[in-house]
């Protein structure tokens, strides 16, 4: 790769100088974000020529590199094209998209599904299509950024209640004018804490206040529930009690993209009014083909989920026994197992120390999490072996003692 072109400070124009100044401020605040290039998406990979074991991917079932998913991607590209070539409403929509939408709707027990290019776009699309100025969107405080951004895009008023506190959500709903447009929104599994929303309590509230309920189950689908149908299945929720469900394809399904699922009227409304669906190139048909293969695996190989849940239980038990200094294991039964560290510097030091031991687990810092709650967001995958978990536990023990001593 050619080296990046460095422009000397004396040659910068005012625009570049202003950008550089902002970057320096970000560095000075200790919040500069950096990417690391790894060789591939496997949990055993290489970074800068070194073997690394990763514990921070959302590829919870290890399907991103599964031979059947990869083969379906290649076959799909040969048969249908690498890209859709246009938006879904022009001529980017293919029969393979219909097949995938139908399978996703069946899997989640709903009438229809609609594909989006990403979960971020899906959340922007749903909220901006359903809500407008004068409306109210009521959020759990820890909802994903894309749900907040969707609300901003819609022009509706954003309300946030303390994480998991449905009595505060109720206070907000009770204070809204009965005739106002409203939407109650929550993650199914919270992306940075790993805990699950109490979907039954939210549905009761939504019904009491005649408010549609939207659940973003990006991290629950594929992982939770007997058939992998997510947080709702795990909590025995009939589909009709959650009229709007969002799922992503880039996590447990191992590919890329997202879907919204619900009634025929919901999906037709999104096709008419969701600008992040209308004005963008369709999901790659090759990805649709790969996702169909991934969904087959999710539905026919429950042993992947069983293995993953065994790893989760063992990780929690052993970490509780080790009682490592400087970290608190947060309550979570999902593959997201955050280790609360506190300060940004301590979280970075622990992450760096693990890196030296050949383990990649990135530190999560403000503004992604509140100040003072920096953490290592450990994620487990069905692609990890018991031996991989041993390595993580040994490294964590050594690094926690070194960093806090």
Is 208 flagged in the annotation as binding? no
The span of 49-57, 100-108, 114-122, 300-308 binding ligand PMP (CB under 6 A) equals 114-122
- Of the candidates 216, 233, 344, 388, which one interacts with ligand PMP according to CB under 6 A? 216
Identify which of residues 280 and 343 has a Cβ nearer to ligand PMP in the complex: 280
The span of 88-96, 129-137, 211-219, 295-303 binding ligand PMP (CB under 6 A) equals 211-219
Is 248 flagged in the annotation as binding? yes
Identify which of residues 191 and 381 has a Cβ nearer to ligand PMP in the complex: 191
287 binds ligand PMP (CB under 6 A): no
- Of the candidates 54, 108, 186, 191, which one interacts with ligand PMP according to CB under 6 A? 191
What is the 3-state secondary structure of the chain? CCCCCCCCHHHCCHHHHHHHHHHHHHHHCCCCCCCCCECCCCCEEEECCEEEEECCCCCCCCCCCCHHHHHHHHHHHHHHCCCCCCEHHHHHCCHHHHHHHHHHHHHHCCCEEEEECCHHHHHHHHHHHHCCCCCEEEEECCCCHHHHHHHHHHCCEEEEECCCCHHHHHHHHHCCCCCCCEEEEEECECCCCCCECCHHHHHHHHHHCCCCEEEECCCCCCCCCCCCCCHHHHCCCCHHHCCEEEEECCCCCCCCCEEEEECHHHHHHHHHHCHHHHCCECCCHHHHHHHHHHHHHHHHCHHHHHHHHHHHHHHHHHHHHHCCCCCEECCCCCCEEEEEEECHHHHHHHHHHHHHCCEECCEECCCCCCCCCEEEEEECCCCCCHHHHHHHHHHHHHHHHHHHC
The span of 32-40, 92-100, 115-123, 364-372 binding ligand PMP (CB under 6 A) equals 115-123
- Of the candidates 140, 187, 195, 233, which one interacts with ligand PMP according to CB under 6 A? 187
CB of 53 to ligand PMP, least distance (A): 21
- Indicate the residue whose CB is closest to ligand PMP: 119
The span of 29-37, 118-126, 234-242, 293-301 binding ligand PMP (CB under 6 A) equals 118-126
Identify which of residues 88 and 326 has a Cβ nearer to ligand PMP in the complex: 88
User: Which residues form the interface with ligand PMP (CB under 6 A)?
Assistant: 118-120, 123, 144, 146, 187, 191, 216, 218-219, 248, 250, 258
Known binding-site residue numbers for substrate? 33, 144, 368
């Amino acid at each position: 790769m050619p080296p990046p072109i460095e422009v000397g400070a004396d040659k910068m124009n005012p625009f570049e100088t202003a950008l550089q100044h902002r970057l320096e401020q970000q560095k000075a605040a200790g919040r500069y974000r950096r990417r690391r290039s790894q060789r591939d998406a496997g949990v055993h990979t290489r970074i800068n020529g070194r073997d690394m074991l990763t514990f921070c991917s959302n590829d919870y079932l290890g399907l991103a590199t599964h031979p059947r998913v990869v083969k379906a991607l290649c076959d799909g590209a040969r048969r249908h094209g690498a890209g859709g070539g246009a938006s879904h409403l022009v001529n980017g929509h293919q029969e393979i998209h219909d097949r995938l939408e139908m399978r996703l709707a069946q899997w989640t027990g709903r009438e229809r599904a609609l594909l989006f290019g990403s979960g971020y776009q899906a959340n922007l699309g749903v909220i901006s299509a359903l809500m407008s100025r004068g409306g109210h969107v009521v959020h759990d405080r820890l909802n994903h950024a894309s749900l907040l951004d969707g609300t901003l895009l819609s022009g509706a008023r954003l309300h946030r209640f303390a994480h998991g506190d449905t009595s505060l959500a109720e206070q907000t709903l009770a204070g809204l004018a009965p005739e106002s447009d409203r939407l109650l929104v929550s993650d199914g599994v919270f992306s940075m804490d790993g805990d699950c929303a109490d979907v039954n309590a939210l549905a009761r509230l939504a019904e009491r206040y005649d408010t549609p309920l939207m659940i973003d189950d990006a991290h629950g689908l594929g992982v939770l529930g007997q058939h992998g149908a997510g947080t709702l299945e795990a909590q025995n929720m009939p589909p009709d009690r959650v009229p709007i469900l969002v799922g992503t394809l880039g996590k447990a399904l191992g590919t890329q993209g997202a879907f919204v699922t619900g009634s025929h009227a919901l999906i037709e409304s999104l096709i008419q009014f969701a600008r992040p669906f209308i004005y963008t190139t369709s999901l790659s048909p090759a990805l649709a083909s790969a996702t169909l293969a991934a969904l087959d695996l999710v539905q026919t190989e429950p042993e992947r989920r069983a293995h993953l849940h065994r790893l989760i239980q063992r990780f929690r038990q052993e970490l509780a026994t080790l009682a490592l200094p400087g970290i608190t294991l947060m309550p979570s039964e999902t593959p997201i197992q955050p280790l609360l560290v506190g300060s940004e510097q301590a979280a970075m030091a622990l992450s760096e120390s693990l890196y030296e031991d050949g383990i990649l687990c990135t530190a999560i810092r403000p503004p992604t999490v509140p100040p003072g709650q920096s953490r290592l967001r450990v994620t487990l995958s069905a692609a990890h072996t018991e031996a991989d978990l041993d390595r993580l536990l040994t490294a964590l023990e050594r690094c926690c003692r070194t960093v806090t001593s």
